[in-house]
Structure 1
Amino acid sequence: MEQLRQHIKRIIKQSGGKWGISIEELGTNNSWGINEGDLFYAASIIKIPIMTAVFNDYENGRLSLSNTLELKREEMVGGSGVLQHLSPGTKWTIYDLLTLMIIQSDNTATNMLIDVIGMESIQQMMKDIGMQDSKFYNKLMTVPATIQGYNQVTAQELTMMMKKIAMGKIISMHACEQMIAIMKKQQLTDCLPAKLPQFDSDIIGKIPEWQLANKTGFTSGVRHDIGILYVGDRAMVATVLSQDVDDNRSKDAIAEMGLEIYGYLKEE
């Protein structure tokens, strides 16, 4: 772990700006962080707590993942996602919207889900998880003129949340399995997994050397990636938050960190 710490510190120093890092190898006492208690603008990372709140309502019988919602033109917002480009009147299941929210970071899907479960449900779920400093106040891309606050997160609390999901300690084992399955389908792969080795096999069904369940977050001057990296029998939760870093440099730096974590987990 000491070598991994030094490598990440070197990457941070070369990149400038501010970083919040929290990493923990599951099943061990190996963990490390820097600025892990500092608040960062959440960007799309807030979609993971939103996902947990939706699954909590599902597990408690308040909604069905098969329920459908109609896409309305007045609900369409910009930024990430495909729904903003599709036809109003189409219907989507809650599970479809969850998937779009995570794997394409779809802001319209996110806001539709927030409307279904309510902001208070998300805020309470975050408290139940143990996220005392991280806060959720606003829908995506629709910040009102007068706001109570900005969506904020800490690296420490995000790692704690992801660890609980990985260990089946949020809502239920079944809910955690479904959340990880969705995150493993992530299509925004230009940060933590960008430099990981790609393996092609002629053997159908061969178990991949690594898997990553993750969620990115990005806006100008802010770039994050959080996830669970699985390599063989080992797994590590990694939260990487950045601000005031050149956009291209932050992307490359997070990819370098992902490669360093992979190398650490590959060690025998």
Structure 2
Amino acid sequence: MELLMNEIQDILHRTGGTWGICLEDLDKKQHWSWNEKEDFFAASIIKVPIMAAVFSAYDQGQFHLSDKIVLKREDLVGGSGILQHMTPGISLTIYDYLTLMIIQSDNTATNVLIDLVGVEKIQETMSEIGMKNSCFYNKLMTVPVKTKGRNKITAGDMAILLHKLTSGSIISQYACEQMIDIMKKQQFRDCLPEQFPEMESDIIGTKSEWEFANKTGWVTGIHHDIGVLYVGNRTMNIVVLSKDVENRLAKQTMAQIGKCIFNYLKQS
């Protein structure tokens, strides 16, 4: 893993800006981090612990994932996602809202789920996971003028979340399997996996060379990508957070880092 660490450090030195990185090789039980305690604005990465809070409330019997919630006009917000373009009055299951929140980073779906479980439940879940240096305060795209703070994360805390997710230690093994399955359907693949090999094959039923259960997050000057990368029989938890880097350069840098990680798993 030392060679991989050196390759990534070289990339970061050339790029500049501020980066928070945590890698965990789950097969070799090796871990490497860079600025793991640095604070970053969470952007849409906060949607992963929100998903965990929803599964926790479901596990406690507060609702069924098949229960439906009517989309109201006052729920609609801008940014990412398709629900802002839908007609108010449609009814979707809680599981549908979860899926849209993760795979399309839908902000409207996110706020519906925040209203469902409440801010305190999300904070409580983050605390139970062990995310001691991360905070959740606000719904997305509707931040009030007077607020206690911004939603923030650290690479170290997100690495803790991924470790517990991949070990079945959040809520239940079933919940962790469901959350990873949703993340595998991610539609934003233009950061870490940008330079991964094409997954399509001419042979029906061919198993993919890789799978990536991930979640991205971005606003101007901030770009993040976290997830669990499966290559053959090798698995790695990956957290890459950035700030003070131009958006296009940040994505290019993440793609380079992703390629290095993929080659490391493939060759080892």
TM over 0.5: yes
Find the residue that maps to 1:64 and give its secondary structure: coil
1-structure distance, mates of 2:84, 2:14? 38
1-structure distance, mates of 2:45, 2:141? 14
Question: 1:87-111: CA deviations, max 9, x gaps?
Answer: 0111111000000000000000000
Identity rate, percent: 54
Work out whether 1:159 is the aligned partner of 2:159: yes
Count matched residues: 268
Q: CA deviation at 1:218?
A: 0.3
The aligned residue for residue 8 of structure 1 is 8
Find the residue that maps to 1:215 and give its secondary structure: strand
Bigger shift: 160-169 or 104-113? Answer: 160-169
2-structure distance, mates of 1:19, 1:9? 10
Q: CA deviation at 1:3?
A: 1.1
5+ unaligned residues in a row in structure 2: which ranges?
Answer: none
2-structure distance, mates of 1:6, 1:74? 49
Q: CA deviation at 1:200?
A: 3.1
Alignment of 1:57-72 (within 5 A): 57-72=57-72
2-structure distance, mates of 1:68, 1:53? 18
Find the residue that maps to 2:195 and give its secondary structure: coil
Alignment of 1:116-265 (within 5 A): 116-265=116-265
Work out whether 1:18 is the aligned partner of 2:18: yes
Which ranges of 4 or more aligned residues in structure 1 deviate by more than 6 Å?
Answer: none
The aligned residue for residue 114 of structure 2 is 114
Contact 2:66 2:93 in 1 (8 A): yes
Letter in 2 for 1:32: W
Question: 1:41-98: CA deviations, max 9, x gaps?
Answer: 0000000000000001111111110111111111111110000011011111100000
Question: 1:92-142: CA deviations, max 9, x gaps?
Answer: 110000000000000000000000000000000000001111010000000
Q: CA deviation at 1:10?
A: 1.4
Contact 2:135 2:150 in 1 (8 A): yes
1-structure distance, mates of 2:118, 2:193? 33
The aligned residue for residue 91 of structure 1 is 91
Find the residue that maps to 2:12 and give its secondary structure: helix
5+ unaligned residues in a row in structure 1: which ranges?
Answer: none
Find the residue that maps to 1:240 and give its secondary structure: strand
TM-score of the two chains, using structure 2 as the length reference: 0.98
1-structure distance, mates of 2:115, 2:233? 40
